[in-house]
């Protein structure tokens, strides 16, 4: 462990001002539509427009490409505050970072200059094409192929479970470029544009939660990709993908913290007003213990996410451990706290009249995407066994 205690991160006045600004946008422009977005499974366009208008849709884009250049902690705060009222909407800044971070980490200057400014201006969104139906946790077993044809590449195959597919204009896609090469070192990354001939989408998945964020397959029917759209060098795709996830798992942790905090907010408001046996149920010790445990869990998850964000910004060597730990712990907390929030509201919590049932459904995916929590524990264990973390 490179640092201990409060040296790991610092919440500056700028970060707190950012939180206040995002919270105001979330409350005024996003929260009023959250139930409808979930009920009708429609993309949260009002949230998108509000986030673009306030430069919160892709705050991570560096200033040299027209972005605001927010650091990793600031980006987490944006995602957390939006997720507090609408998890689907929080995937706008989260997935824009996921889709474009491979470019920031590894692309040529030409590729960055072509694709990052439209993202920064809100004219385009980015998605990430890594998973396949039979290549989820085992990403190296992907079957999507890119075959060289002169200076171009011909892309064929599919990707599955792609967040905001169909909405995004640009996609970072991983494909095997050397079928006979060493497993894990035979994959390359490309930028695919929505308008590319032969590129299409499957039907939207029917999901338990985050219904406002479309999840669809990507279909590649001999899509011609110019060679200058490769991200990094040939064969470096999987390495770039894993480096990306080390950073972006933290944003899922931030989303999970936001969902959990939102559920705790609703539970607190409810128990203060709900009366049984002649007094507010907040006065009962059993509920007080439940609320204390919920608040303690949310705060520990938040601290872990912020520490990991600081490590992401610095590029610390133990980032893979902390990124996995933050995502894993925060998502487990989100599932537990949202379930407890439903319990605190009793029968009312089980109805759509209150948002906690939606939050409980939304929380579940945070334990699954960007690496299941079982995979996160494997990542952490490897680093522990190598002596790459610890006090």
**pLDDT of 253-283, one tens digit each?**
999 999 999 999 999 999 999 999 999 999 9
Predicted TM-score of the model (pTM): 0.96
Burial of 370 (0-12, 13-18, 19+ CB in 10 A): buried
> What is the predicted pLDDT for the residue at 219?
98
Domain identity same for 228 and 269: no
> At residue 1, does pLDDT exceed 50?
no
Contact between residue 192 and residue 171 where contact means Cβ atoms under 8 Å apart? yes
- Residue 22 banded pLDDT, cuts 50, 70, 90: very high
Is 339 part of any domain?
Answer: yes
Contact between residue 249 and residue 255 where contact means Cβ atoms under 8 Å apart? no
Residues of the chain with pLDDT > 90: what percent? 94
> At residue 7, does pLDDT exceed 60?
no
Of the residues 123, 147, 167, the one at which a domain ends? 123
- Residue 10 banded pLDDT, cuts 50, 70, 90: low
Cα–Cα distance for residue pair 253/6, rounded to 1 Å: 20
Domain identity same for 243 and 331: yes
Structure tokens at 158: 């599919």
Is 134 part of any domain?
Answer: yes
Contact between residue 95 and residue 167 where contact means Cβ atoms under 8 Å apart? no
Is 133 part of any domain?
Answer: yes
Cα–Cα distance for residue pair 327/254, rounded to 1 Å: 8
> What is the predicted pLDDT for the residue at 3?
45
Query: 57-66, 360-369, 382-391 — which is least confidently predicted?
Result: 382-391
> For residue 251, what are the domain limits?
238-385
Number of domains in the chain: 3
> What is the predicted pLDDT for the residue at 361?
98
Domain identity same for 57 and 27: yes
Of the residues 80, 95, 123, the one at which a domain ends? 123
Q: Quick: pLDDT tens for 54-64.
A: 999 999 999 99
> At residue 391, does pLDDT exceed 90?
no
Domain identity same for 58 and 188: no
Query: 7-16, 156-165, 342-351 — which is least confidently predicted?
Result: 7-16
Question: CA-CA distances (angstroms) from residue 64 to 72, 122, 194, 252?
Answer: 17, 16, 25, 26
Across the range 59-87, mean pLDDT stands at 98
Is 391 part of any domain?
Answer: no
> Which of these, 66, 29, 61, lies nearest to 48 by C-alpha position?
29
> What is the predicted pLDDT for the residue at 2?
44
Domain holding 105: CATH number? Answer: 1.10.540.10
Contact between residue 290 and residue 271 where contact means Cβ atoms under 8 Å apart? no
Domain holding 287: CATH number? Answer: 1.20.140.10
**CA end-to-end span of the chain, whole Å?**
6
Domain holding 193: CATH number? Answer: 2.40.110.10
Of the residues 123, 149, 175, the one at which a domain ends? 123
Cα–Cα distance for residue pair 82/84, rounded to 1 Å: 5
Residues of the chain with pLDDT > 70: what percent? 97
Is 113 part of any domain?
Answer: yes
Domain identity same for 92 and 162: no
Using the Cα atoms of residue 59, residue 84, residue 253 and residue 213 in order, give the sign of their dihedral.
Answer: negative
Domain identity same for 370 and 253: yes
Domain identity same for 181 and 250: no
- Residue 390 banded pLDDT, cuts 50, 70, 90: low
Q: Going by C-beta distance under 8 Å and a sequence separation of 6 or more, which residues neighbour residue 71?
A: 309, 313
Structure tokens at 213: 């964020």
Is 320 part of any domain?
Answer: yes
Is 390 part of any domain?
Answer: no
Domain identity same for 159 and 200: yes
Question: CA-CA distances (angstroms) from residue 362 to 21, 34, 163?
Answer: 24, 12, 14
Cα–Cα distance for residue pair 339/9, rounded to 1 Å: 30
Is 61 part of any domain?
Answer: yes
> What is the predicted pLDDT for the residue at 144?
97
Structure tokens at 283: 């006065």
Domain identity same for 213 and 262: no
> What is the predicted pLDDT for the residue at 9?
57
Structure tokens at 69: 């250049």
The rounded Cα 141 to chain-centroid distance in angstroms is 23
Q: How many residues does the chain have?
A: 391
Q: Quick: pLDDT tens for 291-331.
A: 999 999 999 999 999 999 999 999 999 999 999 999 999 99
- In terms of C-beta distances under 8 Å and separation of at least 24 residues, what long-range contacts does 11-16 make, across chains too? 11/73, 11/306, 14/74, 15/73, 15/74, 15/77
Q: Quick: pLDDT tens for 119-168.
A: 999 999 999 999 999 988 888 899 999 999 999 999 999 999 999 999 99
Domain identity same for 242 and 229: no
> What is the predicted pLDDT for the residue at 6?
41
> At residue 186, does pLDDT exceed 50?
yes
Mind telling me the catalytic residues?
370
Contact between residue 223 and residue 297 where contact means Cβ atoms under 8 Å apart? no
Element (H, E) at 333: helix 319-345
Contact between residue 331 and residue 373 where contact means Cβ atoms under 8 Å apart? yes
> At residue 339, does pLDDT exceed 50?
yes
Question: CA-CA distances (angstroms) from residue 192 to 36, 41, 65, 219?
Answer: 32, 26, 19, 11
Domain identity same for 138 and 116: no
Cα–Cα distance for residue pair 61/96, rounded to 1 Å: 9
Across the range 4-10, mean pLDDT stands at 49
Q: Which residue has the tokens 């995916």?
A: 365
19 — phi, psi (to 5°)? -55, -45
Domain identity same for 165 and 262: no
- Residue 4 banded pLDDT, cuts 50, 70, 90: very low
> What is the predicted pLDDT for the residue at 11?
86
């Amino acid at each position: 462990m490179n640092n201990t205690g409060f040296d790991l991160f610092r919440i500056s006045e700028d970060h707190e001002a950012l939180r206040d600004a995002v919270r105001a946008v979330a409350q005024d422009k996003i929260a009023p539509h959250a139930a409808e977005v979930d009920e009708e499974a429609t993309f949260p366009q009002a949230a998108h427009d509000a986030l673009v208008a306030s430069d919160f849709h892709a705050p991570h884009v560096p200033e040299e490409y027209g972005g605001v250049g927010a650091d990793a902690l600031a980006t987490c705060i944006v995602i957390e505050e939006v997720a507090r009222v609408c998890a689907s909407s929080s995937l706008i800044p989260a997935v824009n970072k996921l889709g474009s971070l491979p470019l920031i980490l590894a692309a040529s200057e030409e590729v960055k200059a072509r694709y990052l400014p439209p993202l920064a201006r809100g004219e385009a969104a980015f998605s990430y094409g890594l998973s396949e139906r039979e290549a989820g946790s085992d990403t190296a077993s992907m079957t999507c192929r890119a075959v060289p044809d002169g200076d171009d590449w011909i892309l064929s195959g599919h990707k599955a479970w792609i967040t905001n597919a169909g909405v995004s204009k640009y996609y970072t896609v991983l494909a095997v470029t050397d079928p006979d090469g060493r497993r894990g070192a035979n994959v390359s990354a490309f930028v695919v544009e929505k308008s590319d001939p032969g590129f299409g989408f499957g039907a939207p998945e029917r999901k338990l939660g985050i219904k406002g964020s479309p999840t669809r397959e990507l279909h590649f029917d001999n899509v011609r990709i110019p060679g200058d759209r490769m991200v990094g060098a040939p064969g470096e795709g999987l390495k770039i993908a894993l480096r990306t996830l080390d950073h972006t798992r933290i944003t899922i942790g931030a989303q999970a913290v936001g969902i959990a905090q939102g559920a705790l907010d609703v539970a607190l408001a409810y128990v203060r007003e709900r009366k049984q046996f002649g007094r507010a149920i907040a006065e009962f010790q059993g509920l007080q213990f439940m609320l204390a445990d919920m608040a303690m869990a949310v705060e520990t998850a938040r601290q872990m996410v912020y520490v990991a964000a600081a490590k992401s910004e610095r590029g610390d060597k133990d980032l893979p451990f902390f990124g996995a730990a933050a995502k894993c712990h925060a998502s487990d907390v989100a599932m537990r706290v949202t379930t407890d929030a439903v319990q605190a509201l009793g029968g009312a919590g089980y109805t759509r009249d209150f948002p906690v049932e939606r939050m409980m459904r939304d929380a579940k995916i945070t334990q699954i995407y960007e690496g299941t929590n079982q995979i996160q524990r494997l990542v952490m264990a490897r680093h522990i066994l190598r002596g790459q973390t610890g006090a």
